[in-house]
Structure 1
């Protein structure tokens, strides 16, 4: 029996059109959740989708992509809001606020991106994904009578990342920036932009060198068939759906397959070449229909990029470079069991923390050291210190990190400066997120093994970053994280879990214990050992001594019938002079005491710690 032709047409149309359950707009007060895979905006024609896109282990960016999958099952990203600051796979949301702003929150706690459109006298705010792939935030202002005037508050077309779509203008205020690699969507080193001479150019802007390479820098404008005043002093470029590109500096070209009916994109590629692509929908493949440079080997920095890049992902320094940067290692800013840290200024002007490893016997061979560095370089989280490079030269082993303005938590707690209760709570949350990433979310199980205030660094906004995580034991994810063995005791006395002394299997719970001690120190302003040093008997069993944990428990027991600030006044750091957020301090004490239970099975995991802390914030 033949299927009626009209039914065939209906079925075909249904297969081409987006599902009836999809949405193309989001109204004021609504949000999209990272945890709901169906929370996706789809353009009315179904060509584009917008939502949370996975960019790594528990790392997501809010992005726009072509809905159609390619032959390998992947999607083509055309825009990202937070390419350099991915958010957590839990509790993160994109929200259209009632004040007219559009924000992206990480784990319900931190705003990592905003459209910056809040505090305007508007009504009927809504976010919509257009057929062009443009994500637009609209609002209306009331006029006399019942009519309303809709205005564009913000649009993604004004803030491109590495891709330009048809009818999206590249202006003097925007630029295309390549991704770091095909699998790393963060900002790379190649840029397509208008320079101050009104010319459209390609730039390599690397960690050390920066240079223009297209058009050939030795050519005068007319020799490169450009004119800075072809359209006055305007600076913008655009191409249409047929593949016709025009720029105000006189650059003009047509796609090799010029004509309508083809999806196109202009992308600043990871190899430094700018290309116009056309989509073969049947094959699910993009084909190049124009490129800026016919000979890719002439792209500046290609060989250098391959040499430096994220095999290791960061730069190799010479010993003399770091010696010069640190002024012969003269400005010491910290030290620990693994090395001494010096402040330095790199050749490109960046202020860095340069760590000279002193236990060089632990890093016998260059290959072993490089394997460990590769693992460290693959870890990426906003609450982990970022490594910029290393030095392996003769017996010298050095690491180069980002410099943190406010130094370590230990320095801040012991200084005359006072952290308020809100800052202490935020530091506890951020530190927990960094450790949870190491334990549960990165490609390798990483135990820190030396969590203490000296290894928690604070940036200019007092946001914490865990340091020294790369010099601890690395565990293969396939092997689990509960049966590791260590050749020696690791950590710092006062923060060490009982397992180290009782010769028990070492698990991630040793970091949980240390974290609990750090939180108690933040709350009380007291070091882990009060009056007596924590000691160990000759047979390896822990001695009963009066330390910080016992002191806090005693004070809580003494004031058990009191509530609120009365029960905390004898515990909280005297520097706060009785002015603190009672609820925040109560939850910090409760979480910390759970973390320092002697029975490791009674301690929560770091992800559970985050849940307890964030639940407190959400309940409020």
Structure 2
């Protein structure tokens, strides 16, 4: 009886919930003269005939709303257009009104006009939201006197035209709906471009104009009609000959072309069952970390594993919610003829700041000559030196467009007061403040203040102990996993692949956090020189990559730079060798936990060398 009552209650509750939801999403088909939509009424919104799109007040912040259009059935109401993205209205007493004159007006709590269509009609006008997502003002003779398709924000919908006078403008950041600094538009040469238009500078970053012209990509600047669009099947065509299709080309899913806040243009398709979006196209050859202006002045982008903005040591992030504002120094940099001996450089390996060179000092220039030239030049904020053997020196008047890649054979040097620089055995180290605010990253980020604390033997010992504890803990987990995977081998015969995967995890925990992009480069796109390749080979190549760095005496390149070199080189080498033993292909040859402790204690160094030599 109790079960029956519970079932009836749940059924009734579900029915009421559905009924309530249906009431909420009813919406209005049109807005007629001298009627309004109120920000305070959740049911005050327009809806398209097939219910694909809704239009009403969308919350963009605390007590801040924008009149918007969104996909009705997408998760979290994906917005495709905003009337007042840079001038949100109050959450009380704000309203959208169609005046008798034919003008659609958005007013704030005090009656101030925050946005309007500036239209006029002697006949009667009504507002409709079409099935295409286009909000229109239509006269009684069915003439459209205004449409939202002529004023896009960051999104293009199927059949919506992008022409010479329209521009897609990105959001400022994730969840920040203010206009950002990235634009997608036709330039004066009739070519569609992705443009960074920041507070200080403006530049085109796609298509590439460095080594290839638009002709290289099959584009043409000779058609001055300047029109682009894509259809419901996912086919994009432009007058400059830019062509692409969605990867799921065909009639079916709802689509949108969006210029994201990170400066990348992406075509999305909606999964009707989940309400989630899938990327079905984005420009080839555009690396997120190479999008100009992404991390602002002094900042640089790296994969961790997602694109993350960081600051050089001695700098702090200006705005935690806005990457583009970059980093600011924690010091006052005084530069004149009497202070140059008080200046030095923070070094960031595998790093470049693209553009804004003072000049190129030429090929074959020694590092010291390059360094000294920047040191005495007060206009030089830093320099980038190439390690490809050509001796290229790039002094920078502005440090923008920074990006760090594992395979980049350049080193960036940022000018700072000498007391900021951390030195160890004559080397200037890479010290960064990670801008990723996840809990794991906050713990390892650089602290406040402009000075450097710690150092000496205590710092070395502490750094090594942290590394040792981290590794031993990881090794213990690996040993337990090995036991479990042994049973898995008996049951499913997949132990080899899983153990190799866990070997990669050991490397990732103990050493530098390699990104997918870095692994792809380090392993030659996971390619195997002999054989068919396969998933297992990704990790084999990573292990070989680390072993090669040991032979080249370049261990520093695989160690997480946030350790600030606060460890003993000898103990580090021991630790790495033991780690490589623990990721051997044959599980039976991997040392037990007790043996790991013995090896790390330094009592069996000969055994380490012998085993490593066998590999």
The TM-score with structure 2 as length reference comes to 0.46
The TM-score with structure 1 as length reference comes to 0.46
Larger Rg: 2
